[in-house]
């Protein structure tokens, strides 16, 4: 790892971070290495000042920061701080010790087949999280993948959005995507969506296994032509990997797998002590030692490597101070790991002892608001009330709704089925995957979902401008069903002031998930978090910190359980089975059984330096905090 020293005009401090040096620079900006008051290392992206003269560029950066802060997951580097209104905007993400994939292959040769499969699984999980946040990476290349001690990390997600220059000019080195790993859509300057990233993933995995891109030519023009028009030669690729890579390289975006389909094809991976060859782990450990030498404050310790490689802490030397020997350095690291474990245990005990006394609940809205009404809605009763006698002829659905079959969905929405198909209505739905249509119903903005095939979906946004929740309607079938979808949504909106409420006051459906834990508790347990959840809907809530936490209330029939955790007093948690490559931990607490289903609270924790086990410890402490806040059952 090469960190360039600061020069005379470089800032010594950005926000609350002391700047240690320059990690890299390009046409759009540069990346600095910083350290926070808590001793955490961060990578600070700072935009070049001259770009701020472009009309609306600051607004573009603000929108990009807003989107980027919603990306979380085990295989990305989460954004933890930013300033879009300062003289020079900046964005800080967790600094991850790792080796870029292109450098790893260049110095160590192509990766073994099991390692490529592990890499593929980790990157697919990362793309799932990025796409769930409504982003298309558009520059997935070996240089934007870091190999860390416990798996891969995707960095610079969405950076292509920043390289759209409003003036039409192109900054040096700021092409939208890297040519050898572009998709055909990018090569032909067409619009791109999520499948574009899957094509780039296929090219990247080919390179990881062979040492070269499948489309690179003698010039940029030849490379772009090959991507758009030439079938790749898969002969250099090991036969065991061809069935995994080839589907990603379809020229037709519709023929490429989604990240979920890709992960299903990979299946279960073999157990490995370390994800990468020993030489790569050696380089990662060397980076950790370089961080030790770089940091000027020996008291600002911070573990930044993962799992068994927790070797990074600051230990810069003062004038006249002796260089610490390896044994004493190892003892300091061991003490820090012990202190971190004790801190988590203390949080668990504190959660039992004082519950929410030390902080205000973080409910998403005041009682009586629209979201509360949607949360407490009997959605099927509302749908029947809104459509009674109003189903249009020729819709393909019976006009007599008494012939419809109604059932409650997993998030207390309503599923209605007839011979004509299936309709799903969700009240208080998260609209992050919906896009504005430019239409309105009763003064409400209408959104549409365009990422799925085989259904028509519309949603009415009932939230404030900086939030995204409302009522959605989805019907299986082609675009001909959209007329009925629009009719149903219109009828629901016309009756939104008389929404029938659930009669079961003890149901989890009526509980605000954002109000189950205090801000003080989560801020201490998972690192600095904003006062307001980064994302929420009627039945889910997400906070972004060094360990992003999602609390969701839901119904389910079956669950793939890996193990159980006994909390005592007859209370237990189920740990959801996860791929061995992910550090995400999802815990389930069964609240009550309703017919053949169970109502449950789920807590998902990702990120963090302790891997899946460490995230499960954090999740358990969150569960201990929130369970006493649930409605008491008779």
d(CA 370, CA 397): 30
Which residue spans within 515-611 are E strands per DSSP?
535-536, 540-543, 549-556, 561-568, 571-576, 585-594, 597-605
Q: Take residue 389 and report the two structure tokens written for it.
A: 């006698």
Q: Take residue 79 and report the two structure tokens written for it.
A: 């954004």
What residues contact residue 261 under an 8 Å CB cut-off, 6+ apart? Answer: none
Q: What are the DSSP calls for 408-465, one per residue?
A: E-TTS-EEEEETTEEEEEEEEEE-TT-EEEEEEETTEEEEE--S-SSEEEEEEE-S-T
Q: What is the largest distance, in Å, between two alpha-carbon atoms of the chain?
A: 89
Residue 139 catalytic?
yes
What residues contact residue 426 under an 8 Å CB cut-off, 6+ apart? Answer: 379, 409, 411, 413, 471, 472
Closest CA to 551 of 481, 604, 482, 490: 604
Annotated binding site for ATP: 45
CA distances from 363 to 129, 414, 523, 532, 620 (A): 25, 25, 15, 9, 21
Q: Take residue 378 and report the two structure tokens written for it.
A: 């009997």
Annotated binding site: 45
Contacts of range 44-53, beta carbons closer than 8 Å, 24 or more positions apart: 44/14, 44/17, 44/19, 44/90, 44/91, 44/92, 45/90, 45/91, 45/92, 45/93, 46/14, 46/88, 46/89, 46/90, 47/88, 47/89, 47/90, 47/162, 49/87, 49/88, 51/171, 52/88, 52/89
**Catalytic entry in 139, 150, 156, 512:** 139
d(CA 573, CA 531): 28
Closest CA to 42 of 90, 88, 10: 90
Query: Catalytic residues, which ones?
Result: 139
């Amino acid at each position: 790892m090469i960190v360039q020293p600061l020069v005379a005009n470089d800032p010594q401090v950005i926000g609350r971070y002391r700047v240690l040096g320059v990690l890299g620079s390009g046409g759009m900006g540069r990346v600095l290495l910083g350290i926070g008051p808590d001793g955490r290392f961060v990578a600070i992206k700072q935009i070049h000042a001259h770009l701020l003269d472009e009309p609306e560029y600051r607004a573009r950066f603000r929108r990009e920061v807003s989107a980027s802060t919603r990306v979380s997951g085990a295989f990305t580097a989460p954004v933890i701080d930013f300033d879009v209104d300062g003289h020079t905007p900046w964005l800080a993400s967790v600094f991850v010790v790792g080796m870029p994939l292109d450098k790893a292959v260049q110095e160590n040769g192509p990766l073994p087949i099991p390692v490529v499969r592990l890499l593929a699984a980790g990157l697919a999980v990362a793309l799932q999280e990025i796409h769930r946040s409504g982003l298309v990476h558009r520059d997935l290349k070996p240089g934007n993948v870091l190999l860390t001690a416990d798996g891969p990390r995707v960095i610079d997600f969405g950076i292509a959005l920043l390289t759209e220059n409003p003036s039409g000019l192109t900054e040096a080195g700021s092409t939208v995507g890297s040519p050898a790993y572009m998709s055909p859509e990018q090569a032909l300057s067409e619009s791109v969506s999520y499948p574009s990233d899957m094509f780039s993933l296929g090219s990247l995995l080919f390179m990881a296994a062979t040492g070269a891109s499948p489309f690179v030519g003698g010039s940029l023009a030849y490379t772009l032509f090959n991507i758009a028009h030439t079938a790749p030669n898969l002969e250099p690729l090991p036969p065991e990997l061809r069935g995994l890579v080839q589907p990603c390289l379809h020229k037709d975006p519709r023929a490429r797998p989604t990240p979920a389909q890709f992960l299903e094809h990979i299946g279960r991976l073999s157990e490995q002590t370390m994800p990468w060859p020993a030489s790569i782990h050696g380089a990662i450990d060397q980076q950790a030692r370089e961080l030790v030498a770089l940091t000027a404050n020996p008291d600002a310790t911070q573990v930044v490597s993962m799992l068994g490689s927790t070797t990074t802490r600051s230990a810069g030397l003062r004038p006249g101070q002796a260089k610490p020997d390896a044994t004493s350095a190892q003892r300091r690291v061991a003490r820090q790991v012990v202190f971190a474990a004790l801190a988590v245990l203390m949080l668990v005990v504190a959660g039992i002892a004082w519950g929410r006394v030390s902080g205000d609940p973080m409910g998403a809205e005041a009682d009586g608001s629209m979201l509360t009404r949607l949360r407490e809605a009997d959605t099927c009763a509302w749908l029947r009330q809104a459509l009674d006698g109003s189903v249009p002829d020729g819709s393909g659905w019976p006009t007599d709704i008494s012939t419809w079959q109604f059932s409650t969905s997993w998030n207390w929405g309503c599923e209605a089925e007839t011979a004509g198909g299936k309709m799903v209505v969700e009240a208080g739905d998260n609209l992050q995957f919906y896009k504005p249509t430019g239409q309105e119903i009763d003064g409400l903005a209408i959104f549409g979902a365009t990422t799925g095939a085989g259904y028509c979906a519309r949603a009415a946004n009932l939230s404030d401008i900086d939030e995204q929740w409302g009522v959605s309607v989805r019907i299986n079938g082609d675009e001909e069903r959209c007329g009925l979808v629009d009719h149903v949504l219109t009828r629901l909106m016309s009756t939104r002031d008389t929404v029938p409420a659930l009669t079961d006051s003890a149901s989890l459906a009526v509980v605000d998930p954002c109000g189950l834990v205090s801000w003080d508790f989560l801020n201490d347990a998972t690192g600095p978090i904003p006062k307001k959840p980064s994302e929420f809907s009627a039945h889910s809530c997400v906070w972004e910190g060094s360990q992003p936490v999602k609390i969701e209330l839901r119904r389910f029939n079956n669950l793939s359980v890996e193990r159980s955790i006994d909390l005592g007093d007859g209370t237990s948690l189920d740990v959801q089975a996860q791929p061995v490559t992910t550090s995400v931990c999802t815990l389930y607490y069964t609240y009550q059984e309703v017919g053949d289903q169970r109502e449950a609270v789920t807590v998902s924790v990702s990120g963090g330096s302790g891997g899946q086990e460490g995230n499960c410890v954090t999740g358990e402490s969150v569960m201990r905090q929130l369970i006493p806040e649930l409605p008491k059952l008779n």
